Amino acid sequence: MDARDMGQDLEKVLFTKEQIDEKLTELAARIDDYYGNRSILVVGVLRGAVMVVADLVRKIHAPVAMDWMAVSSYGSGTKSSGVVRILKDLDTDVTDREVLIVEDIIDSGLTLSWLLANLQSRGAKSVDILALLRKPDAAKVDVPVKYVGFEIPNKFVVGYGLDYAEKYRNLRGVGVLAPHVYQ
Ligand code: IMP
Ligand code: MG
């Protein structure tokens, strides 16, 4: 799906697929610098991070294992509900593993601070976080996000995995959803 397929539902394109790709190349280089040839367990947060994980891991030279968690903090609206639930847990034992959580976006920071504590408590050797996008509110919580793709304004965005009510995940790039869609 391209911007023109969304018509009036898309207010503005923020990042094209090509810009995202360039950014992921930069982040993958930093990841390789840090891990060297040690193996990484990439934990993708379903469903929004699917595209980020798929494109990122292919740029990493170190050995990568992939697993997935699904958590819910939102329901189908545009505001965090404040409650995190595990909808799908990892299949992998993270004991002594070097874990890299990959998330599409950090907004209130609630989801990631909870996930970080959760994986640390299972005995991972290290847990780091990569988020493709970061909204300003994330600065208010103390979540150490090591790798950030882009800082974005406080608008509801869709595309490249991010949805509104399960729509627009297949938009190639990332854009601002027009408020008339959810108001
Ligand atoms: P947080 O817990 O408030 O940081 O919310 C993080 C989660 O909320 C992300 O994993 C997304 O699923 C969702 N989310 C936050 N902002 C947006 C947005 O602008 N568009 C789509 N999903 C969002
Ligand atoms: Mg998410």
**Per-residue pLDDT tens digits for 160-175:** 999 999 999 999 999 9
Which residues' Cβ are closer than 6 Å to ligand 1? 45, 48, 73-74, 80, 103-112, 156-158, 162
pLDDT of res. 140: 79
Which is higher by pLDDT, 74 or 49?
49
Nearest-angstrom CA–CA distance, 128 and 147: 8
The Å distance, Cα 92 to ligand 2 centre, comes to 20
- Give the residue, 179 or 137, on which the prediction is more confident: 179
Tokens 């595990």, located at residue = 86
**What's the pLDDT at 77?**
58
Q: Whose CA is nearest to atom 9 of ligand 1?
A: 105
Question: In a mutational test of the pocket of ligand 1, which residue from 74, 110, 181 has the highest number of ligand atoms less than 8 Å from its CB?
Answer: 74
Q: Given a cut of 60, is residue 147 above it in pLDDT?
A: yes
Residue 55 confidence class, pLDDT cut points 50, 70, 90: very high
% of the chain residues with pLDDT over 90? 85
* 91 counts as catalytic: no
Structure confidence by residue, pLDDT tens digits, 64-117:
999 999 998 765 555 665 678 899 999 999 999 999 999 999 998 988 999 999
**Whole-model pTM above 0.75?**
yes
Cβ-contact 20, 171 below 8 angstroms: no
Q: At what angle are helices 50-57 and 17-35 packed, to 10 degrees?
A: 60
In the reported structure, the alpha carbon of residue 105 is separated from the centroid of ligand 1 by a whole-number distance in angstroms of 6
- Measure 117 CA to ligand 1 centroid, in angstroms: 18
Residue to probe by mutation, ligand 1, list 105, 130, 164, 171, most atoms within 8 Å of CB: 105
Instruction: Give the model's pLDDT for residue 78.
Output: 58
Closest residue by CA, ligand 1 atom 16: 107
d(CA 4, CA 173): 12
pLDDT at 176 over 60: yes
Distances from the Cα of 19 to the Cαs of 25, 54, 76, in angstroms?
A: 10, 16, 28
Confidence of residue 130 (pLDDT cuts 50, 70, 90): very high
Phi, psi of 158 (to 5 degrees): -135, 165
